Amino acid sequence: MNERKRNVMEAAHALFVEKGYAATSIQDILDQSGISKGTFYNYFPSKNELLMSIFEKINLETDQRRAHVIAGRPVHDKEAFIQQVKVKMEVSKENNLFALFQGVFISEDEELKKFIKQHHISELRWMQRRVIEVYGMRVYPYSIDLAVMMHGMIHHTVHFVMAIEADVNVDQVIGYAMRRVDAAIEEIIHTNDALLDPHVLEKWQPEEERARERKKSRVLQEIGAMQREADERSNELLVFLQDEMREETPRRLVMETVAGTISNNETLMLRIKEFFS
């Protein structure tokens, strides 16, 4: 992204927070960023597209910071999961996401509302995937229930504490929600008490992307399962594979070569081949 386009997005972001999305005109953005109308439309077909670009930039920042948190750590590391959840809340606060969301709802723009809905669904899918990685495949049938439970507990608690004008300790809130999930899991598994189909969120995702995501998830789940019984050397290799798998373009030759040096690797090798096929 060139510097001029970034400046336009930053100027618009500030205006959307200050004045509201609906009340901010394209002329306001032109005046704030010092560009012509022609340049604006060269970057963005509409004000809607500009706002969606801002959200996508924020999502990319979240993904990058979450990847940094988990880098070099086992996939089932609960503390890493807690810190990744915290990243989302920090990024939301830094970018005044609540004000941006409010602006969308006030505008009653159906295209933007659909986009925001997809944003929330993507976050729940991320949390569902991480719940499976942290707790193992045994929680898969209940994974969306647990993701919704944890996500809702955290956000409603934070909003309540803010509403009564008390100080919010995000670490305490996330840690508390994590302990409640820990306590609930064994009972849920024992009673086989599933509410939502774990595939329920997939219908909002394109089939090709959905298939790739499933294959990627299987590789990460197998890595997580192997980490629980791995010795120190094998765990280092598995962490390397985990980090490589989370890259935008994982390298097949590197992954197959490293996986080939780990004992009891048959299922892992199969999952890697399935992902790249």
Model pLDDT for residues 158-175, shown as the tens digit of each residue: 889 888 877 878 899 999
Q: What is the pLDDT of residues 235-275, one digit of tens each?
A: 999 999 999 988 888 999 999 999 999 999 999 999 999 99
In the chain, which residues have pLDDT < 70? 1, 205
Q: Give the Cβ contact number of residue 109 at 10 Å.
A: 18
CB distance 83 to 62 below 8 Å: no
Distance set, CA 49 to CA 45, 100, 112, 169 (Å): 6, 14, 9, 35
* pTM of the predicted structure, to 2 decimals: 0.80
What is the rounded CA–CA span in Å between residue 255 and residue 247? Answer: 12
